[in-house]
Structure 1
């Protein structure tokens, strides 16, 4: 089946006359003929049911769970995306839903796809999205007591502020020595004079310099 046919088939399987259940829509991702996928957007309340319909061997037969992650859409909440694959029919689908920033929760797919366990734990840890009925949402990658969710866009990238650079030279310094230039603050890293252990004590870090436009003949 083509990506268009896969998307239309899943939309048909989820069709309902109840407007309160929300609308299911489909589009096709980029990637060209060999890599394009049907992208099916479903309301968060129908996330589990959509995965169940996709798995049905008599319909689309998505028997393999490939991966799951999320995208921080800022005021729009979070997009949760799962890639499912049919090992027999050799077609795939990107199943997508949107959860709010105030209540980021979606149904776990572990009972349908046991392989989702690790992916949901990672997404919970990195984005703070709860997967209802997941059997074990323990921390997976971060150390005990870690605060915050590193893949949220408001998360402060503060490692260079909290502790000094461990190498002998700052990144970009040459081996030839010479005068040491002031370190440039990378994007996403706060000014150490405004955040961190040296707040109010350190001189402001310089902003990243803009490169001059390249001359063309």
Structure 2
């Protein structure tokens, strides 16, 4: 593949995913910026291994991941992966059921996941099964709150202070 080849379109990536992941229990869709795969925690590792190891994908770079509090729906984690070989990206979304925030760790597949998983565990309360050292990064070790959870005690105070102002634009 030449370095001047254009990045793959989202539709191309979606069709590639549908063709090669069709047997796995996933939902494939598109967002404004990426192809998206929704997968349950129990099938997450199989999907990630396919995305990384299958030659047609070769998603060898974990660009980012973030934990999200979906309130009554549970906690979610979104992973953005990129393939340098194919110049394509994908987002993988894992929604955990309420009260069971467990997702398998992928630190053995992507070294960058170590830091990201620790941050998501600390900030929103996700549990990454198999993580080698799931300790706090930013808060003291004995602090057991999750500051980015919607039920965090300071959330209402932050809203009253205008931190989550919904007016359009940037009021700097």
Smaller-chain TM-score range? 0.7 to 0.9
Structure 1 Cα separation of the partners of residues 151 and 56 of structure 2: 41
Per the alignment, residue 135 of structure 2 pairs with 138
Q: CA RMSD in A?
A: 1.8
RCO higher in structure (CA 8 A, sep ≥6): 2
CA contact 1:82–1:94 (8 Å) conserved in 2 = yes
TM-score by length of 2: 0.81
CA contact 1:126–1:151 (8 Å) conserved in 2 = yes
Per the alignment, residue 112 of structure 1 pairs with 109
Give yes or no for the alignment of 1:124 onto 2:121: yes
* Matched positions, count: 153
- Describe the superposition over 1:129-165 as per-residue Cα deviations: whole angstroms up to 9, x where unpaired: 110111110111112321311111000118xxxxxxx
TM-score by length of 1: 0.65
Q: Greater strand percent: which structure? A: 2
Per the alignment, residue 157 of structure 1 pairs with 154
- Describe the superposition over 1:29-54 as per-residue Cα deviations: whole angstroms up to 9, x where unpaired: 12xxxxx2111111211111111111
Unaligned runs of 5+ in 2: 1-7, 162-172
Quickly say closer, same or farther: Cα 1:11–1:97, change in 2 above 3 A. Answer: farther
Per the alignment, residue 10 of structure 1 pairs with 17
Structure 2 Cα separation of the partners of residues 102 and 54 of structure 1: 28
Between Structure 1 and Structure 2, whose CA radius of gyration is higher? Answer: 1
Per the alignment, residue 165 of structure 1 pairs with none
Quickly say closer, same or farther: Cα 1:186–1:125, change in 2 above 3 A. Answer: closer
Q: Greater helix percent: which structure? A: 2
CA contact 1:7–1:40 (8 Å) conserved in 2 = no
What's the CA shift for 1:10?
2.3
Give yes or no for the alignment of 1:187 onto 2:142: no
Corresponding residue to 1:84 among 81, 86, 92: 81
Q: Secondary structure at the match of 2:46?
A: helix
Matches within 5 A, 1:34-49: 36-49=33-46
Structure 1 Cα separation of the partners of residues 122 and 158 of structure 2: 25
CA contact 2:58–2:83 (8 Å) conserved in 1 = yes
